[in-house]
Chain A
């Protein structure tokens, strides 16, 4: 059997803030199989973004192990991590993160540029992706000329065109209205159905509902990890049963 796509063991992350050390993750163990759609939820400051950054090889853990598709990646050098990001990981952030001086289609091409895909191929895939998300007509617009939802769709097209195995989204709907958020989630769901693994951070239960599995965090730890259907029941019926022992223990 193929190894799990994500296999994190006892991940710790301490942030340094001057002389103080802020623990963001206090030992997170998490396994995600290829093809899953996982939502990470939890209060502000619970370490969701920190975890996502580690999973995306944007950051290095203070301690703990991380295997990506079976390969130990926790201690790779920055350039190797960059290469893996270019070829296998796509990010979608809350703030849309487009380059303001590049047109929509150039922004879509950017990730493929770093993956070393040739220019004509890039252009073709970027056009296809933009058409697919309904922005085919606006590929030469600047980010400033697009609405928030459209910008986020360009960011999704960027991931779509590059075609990474793993997609990490940090509150992708956080800055959008409900209807636009739903459109974005529909696009993510399509990508998941096409076989991509998605890990999504959100505060919004309606957004988390698109996932098959919900991981809840608090104070740098995972406090619950359940299939979406069961999570909904568990949270409505016995919320304290899971949250309380952890908070008192720490």
Chain B
């Protein structure tokens, strides 16, 4: 008998006992819904972390002067101003896999515009900084090399600073005073949101050329004219990070003429590290939750098997009649196998729907990021189908092996 006929017969049996079919499916519905919900919550959390990592800038290393531990005394980073613009230039030039190395200084400044004034973080940067952090200039433009060379009084404003200082006016081209020096606004930065690591608003910032910063804004507190607070290094790929880190370390030790046993006078860190650990933890949690949901799916499968066994017994007479009319063993087996699989797949469809609704509901109530991924839907279907075939096989096999006479005599 053709598969189409078999499916038609199975559908009829499912439909004829709609209430029972629904109850039978319930385990699968709950299992798949749980799977979809758990994975949606987990994937959402993970996407959020990934987004945060991206907002830091992908494949990023930061180098700061000073060592973590020196002679048993813990020193703050930046305690010795050993890192220079020349170091950054050397890293960019000599270390393979490095896209840019951005020497940067920073400090707190007061920004004044008309009556409004705002205390914020100022960064002295080179164009490489925006590349390293994958930071778009939303309107206007970034700095030219010429402006950096000539210590031009130009500034890029972070989105939060714009919000604080300007109400409706267009900031581009206007003047703001930073540390009492007038600067022309040449661009507004794209929004990056909160830094997931320290919770700081990344958009609460003004950026000026590194040379200008040293000369007019942050220069007074620096020991050496050449020193920088940190260098941001962007590496071509995630795989290249470890080797780049090692080579930068060797290069800097050599440049700083450190003796063989001496500790590093700088630190290289990967700012996304803690977040990556969180991402990994979230991933394992998602897996764990999915595994728990899968267990309930398996329990649903067992209840399908149970009902199918009851159904085979109940329909013994029908099976005998079908056999008398010429049904082969495989016709009977397929009929019940398709019925079980159909129940599971229908349960899967409903479960995906319920799961997606629950996930969205949870997301709205708890304010969590939710992502019902197509992969989890496919997984839900595939899993429920497989459960149907697996747990449907034994009852179907039992039905197929019935003896026609005994089946016909069964009341």
Contacts and interface: CB of A to CB of B under 8 A. Distances in A.
Interface of A: 53, 56, 58-59, 78-79, 82-83, 85-87, 91, 93, 97, 99, 101-102, 110-111, 113-116, 158
B1 interface: yes
A93 B317 CA distance: 13
Given A53-B405, A114-B331, A116-B1, A97 B326 contact: no
A56 B408 CA distance: 14
Nearest to B404: A58
Given A58-B404, A86-B326, A97 B331 contact: no
B141 interface: no
Given A101-B12, A101-B16, A102-B12, A111 B325 contact: yes
B405 A115 contact: no
Interface in B312-342: 318, 321-331
B13 A113 contact: no
Contacts of B327: 82, 86, 114
A93 B409 CA distance: 11
Nearest to B327: A114
Given A97-B321, A102-B12, A82 B326 contact: yes
B13 A85 contact: no
A196 B404 CA distance: 24
B407 to A, nearest CB: 10
Contacts of A78: 328-329
13 contacts: A58-B404, A82-B327, A83-B326, A85-B325, A86-B327, A91-B324, A97-B321, A97-B408, A101-B12, A101-B16, A102-B12, A113-B1, A115-B326
Nearest to A82: B328
Contact of A58 (B2, B13, B322, B405): B405
A166 to B, nearest CB: 13
Contacts of A116: 1-2
B93 interface: no
Q: What's the interface size class on B, roughly?
A: 20 to 34
Given A58-B404, A59-B405, A101-B13, A114 B329 contact: no
Interface string B1-17: 11001000000110010
A130 B13 CA distance: 24
Contacts of B323: 58, 82, 85
B329 A79 contact: yes
Contacts of B330: 79
Contacts of B324: 56, 58, 85, 91, 97
Contacts of B329: 78-79, 82
A79 B328 contact: yes
A52 to B, nearest CB: 11
Nearest to A80: B328
A114 B1 contact: yes
Contacts of A97: 321, 324, 408
Interface in B362-411: 403-405, 408
Contact of A99 (B318, B403, B408): B318
Contacts of A83: 326, 328
A145 to B, nearest CB: 15
A59 B405 CA distance: 7
Contacts of A87: 326
A99 B331 contact: no
Give me the 4 closest cross-chain CB pairs, A-B, nearest first. A86-B326, A114-B326, A82-B328, A111-B325
A22 to B, nearest CB: 13
A113 B328 CA distance: 12
A110 B324 CA distance: 11
B198 to A, nearest CB: 67
A114 B12 contact: no
Given A59-B405, A79-B330, A99-B318, A86 B16 contact: no
A68 to B, nearest CB: 14
A113 B5 contact: yes
A249 B247 CA distance: 109
Nearest to B12: A101
B392 to A, nearest CB: 20
A202 to B, nearest CB: 19
Nearest to B321: A97
